[in-house]
Structures are given as C-alpha cells and as structure tokens.
Amino acid sequence: MTNKDLADLLFPSITKTIKDYEEMYPERNLKEGEKVTRFAPSPTGYMHLGGFYQAIIDYVLAKNSNGVFFLRNEDTDTKREVKEATKLIMDTLTHYNIIPDEYEFEGNIVGSYGPYVQSERKEIYHAFIKYLIEIGRAYPCFCTKEELDEMREVQERSKVRTGYYGSYAKYRNVPVEELISKVKEGIPYVIRFKSMGDFNKKFVFEDLVKGKIELPENDEDFVIMKSGDGLPTYHFAHLVDDYLMHTTHVVRGEEWLSSVPKHIELFRTFGFKPPKYVHTPLIIKKEGTSVRKISKRKDPEASMTYYKEKGYPVKAVIEALMTIINSNYEEWHTANSDKEFTDFVYSPKKMSSSGAFFDLEKLDNIAKTVISKMTKDEVYDNLYNWTKDYDKEFNELITKYEDYTKNVLNIEREQKKPRKDYSCYSEIKNQIFYMYDELYNPSSYDWGSITDKDEINKILNLYMDKYYDISDKEVWFNNIKELCDNLGYASNMKDYKENPDNYKGSVADVSTVLRVAITSKSMTPDLYEIMKLLGKDRIISRIEKLK
C-alpha cells in the first residue's frame, strides 16, 4: 500500500488537483508594484482596534499602488464563531468607508477569487492536503488529548522543548498500512504536516517592519487539519488562501511572527513563493507612568464599537490610527491637508517595532479639529445620523428644528479659526442643550465672580430695560459697556487691570452674569450669536425664571 492509497482513503471525493485550482484562480492582472492585500479577521463578535488598524494598512497599501484589497472571513475556528460577527466586521468597514474590492457577505460573492469564507473552502484545502499525503509530507495522527498532555509532561520533566517533533512525533514514521487500518477502524485523527526542518538551523527572514531576522527552522509536525469538522488550521488555510488569492502582502499582528517558520516551510514544500509579511506592532497605551498592551478586557477603547457609540468622526479615528501607523503621517498631512489618507505612502519600515502608542487624548484633539472644519450642514448630518442610533429624543428635536439647529451648530464655525468644542457627536447635546427650551431646565447656575442675587437682578433688569439691543454685534457690545459704566463696572479691561479698586468689577463679570442668566453656563460660544438665535422672548422668560 502506498501514500496514494492513504490519500484516496482519507479524501475519496476529492478529484480536483492543485493544478485545477491554479487554473480556476489564475494570476491577477497586476502591473508592476500593484499590491494585493487582505483583511482576514476571525468572526468573534468583537472588532479589536488592533485588527482595524491592520485593515487600514491593508487598505492604504492596496490603494497606494492601485492594487486590490479583499476581505476574507477566517471562520475555521467554529467553536468561537458568533453569528452576527460577520455583520459587525462588514458594518465597521462600511462605517469607515474601508470598502473591500472583493468580499463575501450574506451569500453574495464579489470578486473572482472566492469563496471568501474559509468554511466554504473545505474542498480546496482538502485537495492541497491530499497532495501532501500523496508525496509523504502529511499523515494522520491518532494521538488522544491525554497522550499529547502526557508527552508534554514528559518533555517538561526532562526539560526539553515541548511539541510534536522528531522522536516525539508518534505517528510520523508509522507504516502506511497501519495508518490505513486505523483510519478504517474509525479512530479519530488529525492531519499533521511532516516537517523536514532542523530546529538547530537558522534561516534569514525578511519582515517588512522588523527587517531581516534570524529564525530557527520549523521541525514540528504541526496540525494542518482538525478532526471532526475536517477544517484546516490557520497555518494551512493561510498558505492555500493567500496562494490562490494571490496576496502579495500579508499584514498581521506580530504575535504571528513565531509561526513564520511553519509558514515558510509549508510554502517551500509546495514550491510556492511566500507573500511579503508586514508584522504589525501591538497597540499600546499609557497607564500611569508605564505603558501596556491595549486590552480587550480592561479598555473599552480596544473595541471599535466604542468609537461609533461615542460618535467620533470617521475621519478622526482614521487620522488617529494613521499617526500611529507611520510617525511621519502627521507632518505629511499638515503639508497636504487637501489629500486623502490613501494618498499617503505607507512605509512598513517607519513603523515602531516596539509598539504603536495610541492615545485617546490625541484622538480627541484630532477629532475636535476635524469637527471644527466641517460645515454646519456636515455636522448636522453627522449629528443626525448619530442621534438616530443613539439618542432618539435629541434626534426628534433636531429634526423638528432643523434650520435652527444648523444655525446653532454654525456659531463660530465656517470661519477662518473655527471653534473646537466637540470631539464626538455624543458631546454636542450637553454643550448646546440651552438652545432648546425642551432641554433647558437648569438645576444650578455657574455664576462667576458676581453671586449676590440683588446685584445680579440689578444688572439684568437694567440691561433688559435700557440696554437690550441685538440688531448688530457692535451695538450689542457697546450697550453692555454702557451698562457697565452706569453701574460702576469697568467697561474697558485695560482700565480695570490698572485700577481694579476703582470698580465693582469689569465688563467680563457683567457679561458672565448675562451669559449665565441666559444659558446657565459660564462658558459658551459667542453670546451675541446665542442671544440672536434664542430671541427676546426666550431671553426674557429665562431671566424672569431667575427672579
């Protein structure tokens, strides 16, 4: 009996060969330098910031080079799979406008290299595994979990490297007849790769981020096909998929670096050219004075859902990630503010190899600038979309008062130096609530330096009786100054600073009284604009309420 008999016994219905698949998925028509990248998440129901940042790199690499970016659903670990998970991945990419050129979603395949869902590619993997069995480079292993645990214990006790390799690889040299009869008996098995590597030998591997590194050859007969569902492991699926889909660059987390020797040996065994690898550093954050890996368990911001729920602008999240992807991005972006992030030429060499430092404060700053540069219509639309999902009440209000809301949002906007007040859409309501009677019900007032009730009333009464005029900003301000002169407050800040004892206070204090009486807040954008939008009736009623 031969390896061929074993291969036929294991995969009786597999008739297609590797060659058949090579013909089905021919070389892509790429021009020099065009890159093919893929985002290959496992559908776990959680979209990690670290995964998304890899997707951005994939996207930029492909767009930079006029290449192809595709999405592959790596669902071979069916125990972990969550039904809605694929939707979450698609929704996240769509939200950020990182649209793959090829993908599969809800049964719809876009692209000629699919299926793009691993569990639908079982036959393809089996053809490749069948070939390895035929050439004697893979075999079934019948070890039980207990046997493997025991082997590991023995290795630990004798202080040798753990793993299924060399003389520890129990089924490696078992005659094919015996393997066949065990399969026929129905004993469960996995398929293992038969390694020819030597752990004591090193080879040079070039990672695009870390540069040339020396790695030991693989000598483990690692599992390539699991028992039960017959699906491949990541190592094997990666080889088959990235080969047939003609991926040129694999961008993945640096936790995969230690698996590179396995992957390289697999590629060599098939005689395939491996893709280029971009092993991305972990995303780290500050905690006190030290830094640590951003964690799914501890950090809400590790999940992409966080940014959507808070309502961070899409552009800001991408900008913030681009700045940690390449440290020269910010400088480039300042010099090329009219360009898209996809115009930036990403360089893996410029990635920090010790960790990508992500900082929420930085994101807030970026987001404030991004929102401040939006037109009133843009902020309104974004706020509308965000509230539709996350704040129904406010959504109804801004729909009812659409034009008014746009004017409110336009205070100190659409000008050379716009005001930077909001870092995300969820912050807006709390900052402009006083512009809506429906939301205005202050339980406290931020009075500034003037807190005496009688004095406050005096200022407000006189203002409303004699000085209220909002026909023009200059008139409005001159009137406030006259009010100051009338009541013994300095109408000119310079005079006040020179002789503070000559006055009860200054025009700043008086303005604060007005501001707080009308909005309950001591810090707001331009009070004149606010008063104009609120109108006299509402101003009067708010002042009345204070009495």
Q: Could you list the residues that contact ligand GLU (CB under 6 A)?
A: 40-42, 74, 238, 250, 252
Q: Which residues contact 264 (CB under 8 A, 6 or more apart)?
A: 203, 205, 218, 274
CB of 121 to ligand GLU, least distance (A): 14
176 SS3 class = helix
Alpha carbon distance 326, 499 (integer Å): 54
Measured in degrees and rounded to the nearest 5, phi and psi for residue 267 equal: -60, -45
Identity of the residue, 110 or 257, whose beta carbon is nearer to ligand GLU in the bound complex: 257
Identity of the residue, 235 or 368, whose beta carbon is nearer to ligand GLU in the bound complex: 235
Alpha carbon distance 364, 370 (integer Å): 10
Tell me which H or E stretch contains 263: helix 260-270
Measured in degrees and rounded to the nearest 5, phi and psi for residue 251 equal: -105, 120
Residue in 275, 240, 241 with CA at minimum distance from that of residue 131: 240
Name the DSSP letter for residue 439. T
Report helix angle 527-546 to 453-462, nearest 10. 120
Identity of the residue, 43 or 355, whose beta carbon is nearer to ligand GLU in the bound complex: 43
Identity of the residue, 275 or 313, whose beta carbon is nearer to ligand GLU in the bound complex: 275
Identity of the residue, 76 or 382, whose beta carbon is nearer to ligand GLU in the bound complex: 76
Identity of the residue, 74 or 219, whose beta carbon is nearer to ligand GLU in the bound complex: 74
Identity of the residue, 41 or 197, whose beta carbon is nearer to ligand GLU in the bound complex: 41
Beta strands in 241-306 (DSSP E): 249-253, 276-280, 283-287, 290-293
Q: Are 369 and 337 in contact (CB under 8 A)?
A: no
Identity of the residue, 73 or 491, whose beta carbon is nearer to ligand GLU in the bound complex: 73
- The first and second tokens of residue 137, run together, are 């480079």
Name the DSSP letter for residue 166. G
Identity of the residue, 192 or 238, whose beta carbon is nearer to ligand GLU in the bound complex: 238
CB of 89 to ligand GLU, least distance (A): 10
Identity of the residue, 130 or 238, whose beta carbon is nearer to ligand GLU in the bound complex: 238
Alpha carbon distance 209, 230 (integer Å): 34
Verify cis geometry, omega within 30 degrees of 0, for the bond prior to 115. Answer: yes
Identity of the residue, 133 or 302, whose beta carbon is nearer to ligand GLU in the bound complex: 302
Compute how many other C-beta atoms are within 10 angstroms of the C-beta atom of residue 319. Answer: 20
Alpha carbon distance 546, 458 (integer Å): 12
How far, in whole angstroms, is CA 471 from its chain's centroid? 48
70 beta partners: 38, 102
Report which residue type is found at 242: D
Residue in 204, 199, 205, 235 with CA at minimum distance from that of residue 219: 199
Query: Which residue in this structure is represented by tokens 């981020």?
Result: 209
Identity of the residue, 230 or 253, whose beta carbon is nearer to ligand GLU in the bound complex: 253
Q: Are 306 and 47 in contact (CB under 8 A)?
A: no
Q: Are 251 and 37 in contact (CB under 8 A)?
A: yes
Positive or negative torsion for Cα 139, 143, 147, 148:
positive
Alpha carbon distance 155, 14 (integer Å): 38
